[in-house]
Structure 1
Amino acid sequence: MALAGLLLAWPSAAQDAEPPYWVSLKVDRANMRVGPDRSYPIDWVYVRRDLPLRVVRKSGGWRLVEDQDGARGWMLARFLSRDRTATVTVEGLAEIRAEGSPSAKLLWRAQPGVIGRLGECANGWCEFAIGDRRGWIAGESIWGEGPP
């Protein structure tokens, strides 16, 4: 019975984490406002589900988030997910390899701006999944990896 209570409480507890922490957009469209209320003007409109963001502050049901370009603003917490994602940021093409090593078999390459699901990271490499394709990418090639 106690286990069931813990499982039911987990999703809300995930949003109650103390900043900073990583999140991703769980909706196709979200407004970033200049303050933590719907009465504040919209500064940016994000139209990319799974976009990684960093939460830097909380105020009620609002989160002050930062994107990869350093833009900061307030979003409703309900638009955010604790699912980890990352964006390819390297110039040119990022290599996705079979294992976390520069000498591992090259599986494919990803363009800057591609977003993927982030798995475990170790020794400068991260598991990276785009759709049903999975591999390893150098941590220096993405934004959304490492300590928030």
Structure 2
Amino acid sequence: MPVPRSSDFMSKFLRIFLSLRLLVVLALALCAPAFSVAPALAQNAQVGTASGLPIPRFVSMRNAPTNVRVGPGTNYDIAFTFLRPGVPVEITAEFDTWRRIRDVEGDEGWVHQNLVVGDRTALVAPWQAEGPIALRVAAGPESAVRAWLSPNMLVSVRTCTGTACEIRLSHTGPDGHATTYQGFVAQETLWGVYEGEVFD
């Protein structure tokens, strides 16, 4: 369902959007030598008109259950519900205090900005039905394996180098004892970070 907008609102919206884009272009031009985002991501990124942050970008769900709606407002129907907190989602659009998000399965809908947080999380190889993923002591395929991760495990992402990410996760064994693991995985095995993305 389209979001109703008056002509005055649209005019103001376009002026703000164009001003923000100009400011971002100037800022990137001044800071080009230090800009470390992967080229593919930088070329496709836009700026959210409400937050001023890049679009698209990954965030994570704050709580569960969380209702995702078909439009930006509580008057819209519920499209689906997240039952697991902390899962990564991709923000693909903004409207006022609402964010359109996409999950790992490609389903999209709208949530209020307070229902997502900037903490970076990821799912380990959710496209694989089976087959372990190596959690290594250090970045690089030659590093020793610390543990083996199962597909679709939820992990916290601490840093990414563009080819590898440092992650942390907790696993509860059959005896109820929780063990925390930390190490590095190949960046291409995670859904929740972009190819070549660098952050710390």
Q: Same fold (TM over 0.5)?
A: yes
Is residue 120 of structure 2 the alignment partner of residue 120 of structure 1? no
Distance change >3 Å, CA 57–CA 123, structure 1 → 2: closer
Picking from 92, 107, 110, the partner of 1:74 is 110
Rg comparison, structure with higher value? 2
TM-score normalised per structure 1: 0.84
Q: Structure 1 or 2: larger helix share?
A: 2
Structure 2 partner of 1:57: 93
Measured against aligned partners, the alpha-carbon deviations of 1:72-96 in whole angstroms (never above 9, x if no partner) come to: 1101111100000110125221110
TM-score normalised per structure 2: 0.63
Equivalents in 2 of 1:123, 1:103: separation in Å? 17
Which structure has more RCO (C-alpha within 8 Å, separation ≥ 6)? 1
Measured against aligned partners, the alpha-carbon deviations of 1:100-148 in whole angstroms (never above 9, x if no partner) come to: 1111110111111111111211251100110331000111111011268
Q: What number of residue pairs does the alignment pair up? A: 134
Equivalents in 2 of 1:137, 1:49: separation in Å? 22
Alignment map for 1:61-140 (pairs within 5 Å): 61-89=97-125, 91=128, 92-131=131-170, 132-140=180-188
Runs of 4+ in 1 over 3 A off after TM superposition: none
Give the percent of matched residue pairs that are identical in Structure 1 and Structure 2.
Answer: 26
Equivalents in 1 of 2:167, 2:54: separation in Å? 26
Equivalents in 1 of 2:114, 2:134: separation in Å? 34
How well do the aligned residues superpose, as a CA RMSD in angstroms? 1.7
Please say which of residues 85-94 and 36-45 is displaced more in the overlay. Answer: 85-94
Structure 1 partner of 2:71: 35
Picking from 58, 67, 74, the partner of 1:22 is 58
Equivalents in 1 of 2:133, 2:190: separation in Å? 9
Equivalents in 1 of 2:114, 2:66: separation in Å? 10
Give structure 2 stretches of 5+ with no counterpart: 1-49, 171-179
Q: CA deviation at 1:37?
A: 0.9
